[in-house]
Structure 1
């Protein structure tokens, strides 16, 4: 697959700001090139979404590429949160223009953008801290004290249900990436050593099982979140992608999510971010 070939092409230590932008965009596209992810858009179908498909998500990822590079360059220059936020606002404006108003990647602009900035800073300074630790140390306080979006569905669910959401995730160094996604990604490679798509499916489902996904809370409330987590946990308990006919079981869960209009968009963003971190910190 073309994406897989590009994924392996450049040693991570040589990535400059522009290449970091390309990598971030690629990780978003790899998330799309993953099926079956419960309720989510993929190259196979639109999941529980009527307003977007794989082509639109890939267009959005391409549109965001230069902004991720700009965030990496700003991080390398020691930028504060105000400058990063201004780049993020410009990225969101460009995304909405490209998608005719569809919110394809607002959460990924925020989370993946901060990781790009941290990667740029780390390259410039030459330190060996994790990207999550750098985000927390350099911008964590400003993330928590900054303006709160009143428009995003995740923010509304966070206020309604008391969930931490994307802001807390970033401010505390992305624990869902480091404590859940990366261990799942690496363990899944033992289960399916020759199938990176299966590895991504397993990682996404692990995130659904363990993360309080505010997108699920928005669409299904506490009951929807509980159903999603129980379904994902059952898949993993049965052996995940290491068990026979795992694809059929995952597809059945996917259809059950679609029937309930459930889409774990937060977990999808975290999967893309985990792929980015894994590439740079493997």
Structure 2
């Protein structure tokens, strides 16, 4: 029997295994999250971000910091799934308070491993919600598809932006400050939308290129450029204001017009983009989370027959 911190963890496994049409069961989901985190951090070169080439626009973390963080939080993904199983009978819009304590404990595990450095806080929020949603869906007899998981997260986070951003008296985090000043809802808004930016921008690009035989690395870099061209990244706004956000968007758009990562000199241009953001101390950390989510969501079947959708 699988155990999590002394708790039996076989019920959810049986629930997924008993479903004859279930193509992806609970046992695979935590592994997908771990692989998504590692795939994102190892992807190189990523403009302004930690990767195998350098520390990006950061001075307090490197790739080893991220690897240590990923190891520390890995045991928590099954717990998010189990809590989804336990809350399956509760309406989605009322279930968020049940999973939040696990998210906070997962963050503490991260901070202990990184000596107080925030490497995966945004990822814990988003991937924790997806695991929680998957546990609910499996228990209630639904297939895990890209659409069903994103829709469940949207239901769980219904009203979240109004409650926690519009109703915030003091802006404590970078995301809260960005919303107060510019109206950017950040990770909360992305989750409440069912990860709309991932579904409408990055996922079609990544899945389509993979369908056409393009390597995973190049497909992810191309998807990253598409995200950088449109995402209201609150990390960029925190570091460089609207000017910094605009600089990254314009740079990414120009690269895409020239073929992006698919161009013959695409790798060299990504290196130059990386160097440019490092000089300006710009790091699109929120977009990095969306890229990891893109890879994760792509592992699940789409309702549409066309695998590129």
Report the TM-score, using the length of structure 1 for normalisation.
0.89
Please give the alpha-carbon distance, in whole angstroms, between the structure 1 residues aligned to 2:25 and 2:55: 33
Distance across 1 between alignment mates of 2:160 and 2:287: 24
Structure 1 partner of 2:68: 59
Match of 2:186 among 146, 151, 165: 165
* Residue ranges of structure 1 left out of the alignment (5+ in a row): 1-11
Q: Does 1:108 align with 2:123?
A: yes
Q: CA deviation at 1:122?
A: 1.7
Q: What SS is found at the alignment partner of 2:299?
A: helix
Alignment match, 1:187: 208
Structure 1 equivalent of residue 238 of structure 2: 218
Cα distance change of structure 1 residues 256 and 270 upon mapping to structure 2, 3 Å threshold = same
Structure ranking higher in helix proportion? 1
SS in 2 for 1:50: coil
Determine whether 1:85 maps to 2:94: no
In the TM superposition, what is the alpha-carbon distance from 1:144 to its structure 2 partner? 4.4
Measured in 1, the distance between the counterparts of 2:56 and 2:244 equals 16
Q: For 1:274 and 1:173, how far apart are their aligned partners in 2?
A: 12
Change in 2 beyond 3 A, CA 1:194/1:184:
closer
Is residue 200 of structure 1 aligned with residue 220 of structure 2? Answer: yes
1:268 and 2:288 matched? yes
Q: Secondary structure at the match of 1:198?
A: helix
The RMSD of aligned alpha carbons is 2.0
Residue equivalent to 1:227? 247
Q: Mean Cα displacement is larger for which, 119-128 or 249-258? A: 119-128
Contact 1:33 1:197 in 2 (8 A): no
- Give TM-score scaled by structure 2 length: 0.82
Q: Which runs of 5+ in 2 are unaligned?
A: 1-21, 89-94, 303-309
Contact 1:41 1:54 survives alignment (8 Å): yes
Q: How many Å separate the matches in 2 of 1:278 and 1:144? A: 29
Aligned length: 269
> What's the CA shift for 1:48?
0.5
Residue in structure 2 matched with residue 26 of structure 1 by the alignment: 35
Distance 1:256 1:66 in 2: 37
